[in-house]
Amino acid sequence: MDDAYDYGAIAAANSMSDVYAMGGKPFLALNVAALPDNLPNEISSEIIRGGAEKAREAGVVIAGGHTVKDEEPKFGLVVIGFVDPRKMLSKGGLQVGDALVLTKPLGFGVTTTALKREQVDEKDLLEAVSWMKRLNKDASQLAVEFGLRGGTDITGYSLLGHGLEMANASKVSLKLEFEEIPFISSARKYAKKGCFAGGAFDNKSHFEAQVKFADSIDEENQMLLFDPQTSGGLLLGVPQEKFAAFTARAAEINQPVWTIGRVETGSGIHVA
């Protein structure tokens, strides 16, 4: 991010996501920053303010932290939270028949790579930033409210990488419907320009052996499912008997949810 405040806020939201992905409640954090000597104080202050205000939104106390010198700015949080082991979400909690629900769209990686290449449109960047700054708090609380057991967040390993982690841990297969998978409005535009981060190709190389695509899905759209996300949403398994009430409650609290597939017997991921 070029905007220091957004940089700090996204870093904080991303850092807290692991606790939310377990159905937990973060309560305490420490700042960890690596900043250059010549970085203007107003930029450093905005980074830390962005993180602090996002932590306050989450109800998290920043209790201190540590700063070191580095040539490239780096910022994140060490986050501690509480979770009830009886209600915890895990990658191994999927059951055959569960609906697969995603709580944020995809496409952050190609959009921010377009920014690095100075090819991004401002409105596209603003859309991606608004999603990346969004906490997974409501999505996590919704999952706990309905007693869901299978969940993870979608970050650097992409939808397919994290989906495979869940499939393998749960000893099931995932059937994804490509047309139901949400993307931010700029994702396909930047995919056509080849704005994929190196991590997307790493993900493809590592995970593609366990993924089968329908012939109708071209290479660009396949790559979008390997696109690494920053501060992505949650991927949840929702039992069919809870699905209608779950989606109705999501609408009540203005929590976006997209049903993108289902859990089946077998192994790996099939994208139709």
Q: Tens digit of pLDDT for each residue in 17-30?
A: 999 999 999 999 99
CATH code of the domain containing 160: 3.90.650.10
Residue at 145 is within a domain: yes
Average confidence score pLDDT of the chain: 97
At residue 105 the predicted structure's pLDDT band, cuts being 50, 70 and 90, is: very high
Residue at 88 is within a domain: no
Same domain, 70 and 106: no
Residue at 151 is within a domain: yes
What's the chain look like in SS3? CCCHHHHHHHHHHHHHHHHHHCCCEEEEEEEEEEECCCCCHHHHHHHHHHHHHHHHHHCCEEEEEEEEECCCCEEEEEEEEECCCCCCCECCCCCCCCEEEECCCECHHHHHHHHHCCCCCHHHHHHHHHHHCCCCHHHHHHHHHCCCCEEEECCCCHHHHHHHHHHHHHCCEEEECHHHCCECCCHHHHHHCCCCCHHHHHHHHHHHHHEEECCCCCHHHHHHHCCCCCCCCEEEEECHHHHHHHHHHHHHCCCCCEEEEEEECCCCEEEC
The model's pLDDT over 139-184, given as tens digits with 9 standing for 90+, comes to 999 999 999 999 999 999 999 999 999 999 999 999 999 999 999 9
Same domain, 77 and 150: no
pTM of structure? 0.95
Domain of residue 8: give its range.
4-82
Q: What pLDDT shows up at residue 1?
A: 84
Does the pLDDT at position 2 exceed 90? Answer: no
Residue at 93 is within a domain: no
Does the pLDDT at position 98 exceed 90? Answer: yes
